[in-house]
Chain A
């Protein structure tokens, strides 16, 4: 903590220069992807400059015109949005119970949520495949959504539970006295007060679904059911990698998540520490 409050003191200027250098280094690979996306050639562009020599949008046009990109985008959006809604709903209710009620097996349930995160995903794949198949949900967006929502739950539950714990019980009782039903208490008191944590939870659920690759690749057989990651991966294929197309796709895929991160960064800082991570 620096108590000197001149924003242009020598120390601060140095600090800013340092941060700027780090930031450039961190952002450099991203700029480079942008360059590849804007360069019509499909090679892995070699020059060190992060600026494209003669940029055009042909890679993006190709994605929309020549591939099922729109279809994949739609699939991913549907899956991610549903996963987010479902994941947040399931995590909220479970976290609420864990935070507010004392009941037999509560500790076991929390332990289960904790331990689940340690289980290697690889081992889950075949059993999951079989179960999803038996539920008749293979090659269906719904199957993928259910699996994603449940994978997202444990982390979200811990985070939300931690946050709910910080909200005084009195508030709920006051609302109860004011005549609120449990549902109203949840919607009008708990939810607005835990908005940062809920936002972060939603972000994580969304990311889980939006970024996941392996399960989607295994579960989805038909191209019209591919999600974005699976679709994109087909460009890094056996024949050769179409770097330009891939980069363009990568950018389109990343934009929503990056935008969400930007929008929620305040909540991210607050939500993570007040809630789950602190336990």
Chain B
């Protein structure tokens, strides 16, 4: 087990920098999830840690030691691939024990470890089968088994669940979480599924276009997204954004936009700077409700679609030019085509600078 540090790491393919200036400090035993949209450089970052991809610039330390130039074998890391990459010509047992055999471990020890791993993963009855004769979920488990038996210092996962159906995914997610609890091995996990990220991670790293956008505990990212990108990426359904400007109305600063009028909460007032500043107001759907008669902090929009989910109803529509998603009570009377007034929870507002995209609330608890 070991800590992992990335210091000013860059990766370039030719002139194209796909990972830029990544700094991460991952503690021993941590469970870090890298999330971000497709093509943002998650896999590349992971593969640099694994040693499958050369590091163009910067340092990678595992257990405090710079390992930039070590081959994967000497880094003591194990990886589970999205495609599982099981050796088709070997049985499950051979697949799992291959890495141990290469390290010239003695047969009894190998046996014990394989047994242990297959016990944890429920693979006992499949040990003598070839991968071809396994289901997707079983294959995924074999891939994990292959990583577990090695007892590496760091586990790396690259979207290990994306080929499974929804139900199996939830189940395997739980197993991975359990495994991490049992073994306590430092884990770096790549996914573009934010639910996976939220449920599994101790810390989440959000990436976009090769840059790290924010690092933090799942709830921290949810509560205090550092910029528009993170705000939009974390949380489901995604946060609503409205273009607003601060105006004075009856001596109180109000954020005004087309169909939007929300007072600036007292504790944020000092942060917003001069009047007329162009801002983006962010409100999560779950922090919205049908406004009562006298409520003044509202957005006004039309409803195009209603998605009843049982416990709640998602109303999708438009506020002037921008999209609106609001979570409403299951017994709402709102109909498609209605114009609705939606109230927002003033305590849960997010405010961003429109030109930089940065949150203005940093440092505010």
Contact = CB atoms under 8 A, between A and B. Distances in A.
A136 interface: no
Contacts of B102: 178-180, 184
Contacts of B214: none
Interface in B68-126: 71-73, 77-79, 81, 83, 85-89, 98-99, 102-103
B42 interface: no
A20 B71 CA distance: 59
A221 interface: no
Contact of B73 (A171, A174, A176, A193): A176
B195 interface: no
The residue among B71, B79, B85 with the most chain A CB atoms within 10 A of its own CB is: B85
Contacts of B50: 173, 177
B52 interface: yes
Nearest to A181: B73
A189 B86 CA distance: 11
A193 B79 contact: no
B80 to A, nearest CB: 9
B52 A171 contact: no
A168 interface: yes
B146 interface: yes
A175 interface: yes
B98 A175 contact: yes
A158 to B, nearest CB: 24
A192 interface: yes
A170 interface: yes
Contact of B85 (A173, A179, A181): A173
Interface in A187-229: 189, 192-193
A170 B83 contact: yes
Where chain B touches its partner, the secondary structure class is loop
Contacts of A175: 87, 98
A117 to B, nearest CB: 32
Contacts of B86: 174
Contact of A174 (B85, B89, B103): B85
The residue among A178, A189, A193 with the most chain B CB atoms within 10 A of its own CB is: A178
A193 B89 CA distance: 7
Contacts of A171: 85, 87-88
A176 B52 contact: yes
Interface in B162-221: none
A192 B130 CA distance: 14
Nearest to A182: B71
Nearest to A192: B89
Nearest to A193: B89
A173 B73 contact: no
Contacts of A184: 102
B14 to A, nearest CB: 11
B81 A174 contact: yes
Contact of A193 (B78, B81, B88, B103): B88
A177 B78 contact: yes
Contacts of A170: 81, 83, 85
B43 to A, nearest CB: 11
Interface string B146-166: 100010000000000000000
B236 to A, nearest CB: 30
Contacts of B103: 179
A174 B85 CA distance: 6
B202 to A, nearest CB: 23
B72 A174 contact: no
Contact of A168 (B72, B77, B83, B99): B83
A168 B87 CA distance: 10
A192 B89 CA distance: 7
Contacts of A193: 88-89
Interface string B135-148: 00000000000100
Given A179-B99, A180-B73, A180-B102, A189 B87 contact: yes
A189 B98 CA distance: 11
A184 B101 CA distance: 12
A178 B81 contact: no
The 5 closest A-B pairs by CB, nearest first: A178-B99, A170-B85, A174-B85, A179-B73, A179-B102
16 contacts: A168-B85, A170-B83, A171-B85, A171-B88, A173-B79, A173-B81, A173-B85, A174-B79, A176-B52, A176-B72, A177-B77, A178-B98, A178-B146, A179-B99, A181-B73, A193-B89
